[in-house]
Amino acid sequence: MTGRSRRTGPSTATAARRARAAAPRPGRPARPPVGRRAAEATPELDRLLHALNDPEPGIRQTAAVALGLLCDPRGRGSLLATLGDPDAGVRAAAVDALGALGRPESRPELERALADESPPVRANAAGALGRLADPASVAALARARNDAVPEVRLAVVSALGRVGDAASVAALAPCLADPSDRVRRAAVLALGRGADAPRLATIRGLLDDPARRVRVAAAVVLGRHRDRSSVAPLLAILERPETWEKPAVLVALGQIGAPESVPALLGAAEHDASWVRVCAIHALGEMRCPEAADAVRRHLADPAWSVRGAAAIALGHVGGRIDLARLSALLEDEHSWPRRGATYALGELGLSEAAPRLRESLADRDAEVRLAAIWSLGHLGDDGARDLLLQVLREQDGAPDRPPPSEPPTGDGRLGTDAASRLFDATVQALGRVVHGGDPLVARALREARDRLSDDELDRPALLPLPELHTGRALPTVRDLFDGAIPAAIDPDEE
């Protein structure tokens, strides 16, 4: 047949793009491809299933990738058949797609794929089994620990870590002696998902591993779990001339918070390397002692802007009212990071006298500084910032008269970019905090902004400023932010 055949549906590439736009993301469920209703999605699925039999391997691979992004269980049977494809790239994509579907009944086929002749297929099979996190797959994964290819062993270790039961922990132990330092590092991080004493003792021993990346991973895990027994070996690492592992060790010591580490942290705060000083200042900010506070204050004048920024953030933890003038002066710093740190610190310390100057920071040329100002003014409950915050809300509300693109590349919808979404979310939260006794104007503006968002946009996790991430509370959705802010803005008499 000569000439181009007539197409009855979208191309495989178009179907793949639409599947990517429809793919589930954290906090957002899967949805039909952009511009189509759920009832109309079947022809597009059929097109992808048909493309799995295309004579061109690249098209078959693209179709398999798209089916994984689409996460439609109706594609499972065709993907299983594709595991016998002669092209390794197609098989690898099919295995990955089966993992994305998350169907436990695919486990036997995925376990068989661990013996595929192609390393990428074997690695993807391990990754897919990790997504299933089925304890029944531990035996097959354990057999794959001795694969000749480090990338496959790396995927196996990650999968065992995601399963997380006692059998998988036991299967991870031999991986700590793997000849590849990348695999050993992954084994440390996988074991670090739990915090029982035997695991931490094992990881503590890896602080003497010959590979720096393994030692750093061990320090990260021990710090995350605040393992007091690791303080002495961590302090010993600080005494070595090696510089590159010091930052992870300093952060770990700060997380553990042992008073005996303060002298070493004070010494590291004077290190020649600015990135070491940054981590030392960060750790001192967790210590809550006079010596730490004094050192942090000195470094507000550090020649490195990164250290000045870290000192400002730390002072928000260990400072007090006596630091109002110091932090206010730092709002004029030439670099945005110290300005951002000072802005957060003034809010965290509850220094309401700084509110007028913080309002000026809502016009800072740097978006991160503006975000910090929004949070701090909300945290201070500054009702004088109401009109300015309303203006920010309108600016970030994504031009409601502009229709969203039919196939957005990132899926952030009307708000467009992460920067805009972060400013928007923080402003909604702040408006709920600065109104007192009801404010009809704020209530109306919040309702209008909420009503312009789709359900997907309302149900995504809120992108909140730094201090909100350290509270230990679960992150709210955007809908939660509106549900908290609108009642605060409603006059009780109105109801």
> Using one digit for the tens of pLDDT, what is the confidence trace for 339-354?
999 999 999 999 999 9
Q: How far is CA 273 from CA 46, 50, 166, 242, 278, in A?
A: 58, 58, 42, 12, 9
Give the count of domains, the chain. Answer: 1
* Structure confidence at residue 397 (pLDDT): 66
Reported as a pLDDT band with limits 50, 70 and 90, residue 2 is very low
* Structure confidence at residue 9 (pLDDT): 38
Please list the residues that pair with 25 across neighbouring strands. 28
Question: Which residue spans within 281-376 are E strands per DSSP?
Answer: none
- What the block records as the tokens of 420 is 């805009």
Q: Which among 138, 118, 120, 112 is positioned nearest to 190, based on CA atoms?
A: 138
Reported as a pLDDT band with limits 50, 70 and 90, residue 407 is very low
Is pLDDT at 434 greater than 70 in this prediction?
yes
- The tally of CA atoms less than 13 A away on the side-chain side of residue 386 is 17
- What the block records as the tokens of 305 is 């802007």
**Separation between Cα atoms, residue 301 and residue 132, nearest integer Å:** 51
User: What DSSP assignment string belongs to 208-269?
Assistant: G-SSHHHHHHHHHHHHHTT-GGGHHHHHHHHTSS--TTHHHHHHHHHHHT-GGGHHHHHHHT
Is pLDDT at 492 greater than 90 in this prediction?
no
Is pLDDT at 258 greater than 60 in this prediction?
yes
Residue 245 resides in a domain: no
Residue 155 resides in a domain: no
Q: Dihedral of CA 433/430/451/470: which sign?
A: negative
Residue 12 resides in a domain: no
Residue 59 resides in a domain: no
In this structure, of 164-168, 214-218, 479-483, 489-493, the range with the lowest mean pLDDT score is 489-493
Residue 450 resides in a domain: yes
The separation between CA 83 and the C-alpha centre of its own chain, rounded to angstroms, equals 32
Q: How far is CA 140 from CA 18, 108, 110, 135, 150, in A?
A: 35, 10, 10, 10, 17
- What the block records as the tokens of 167 is 């059998």
Reported as a pLDDT band with limits 50, 70 and 90, residue 155 is very high
Residue 475 resides in a domain: yes
Q: By residue range, what is the domain housing residue 460? A: 364-495
Reported as a pLDDT band with limits 50, 70 and 90, residue 420 is confident
The helix/strand/coil state of 28 is: strand
pTM over 0.85: no
Residue 133 resides in a domain: no
Residue 73 resides in a domain: no
**Separation between Cα atoms, residue 426 and residue 444, nearest integer Å:** 18
CB-based burial, 235-259: b 16+ in 10 Å, e otherwise: bebbeeeeeebbbbbbbbbbbbbbe
Q: What is the 3-state secondary structure (H, E, C) of 352-372?
A: HHHHHHHHHHHHCCCHHHHHH
What's the average model confidence in pLDDT over 65-79? 92
In this structure, of 192-196, 225-229, 267-271, the range with the lowest mean pLDDT score is 192-196
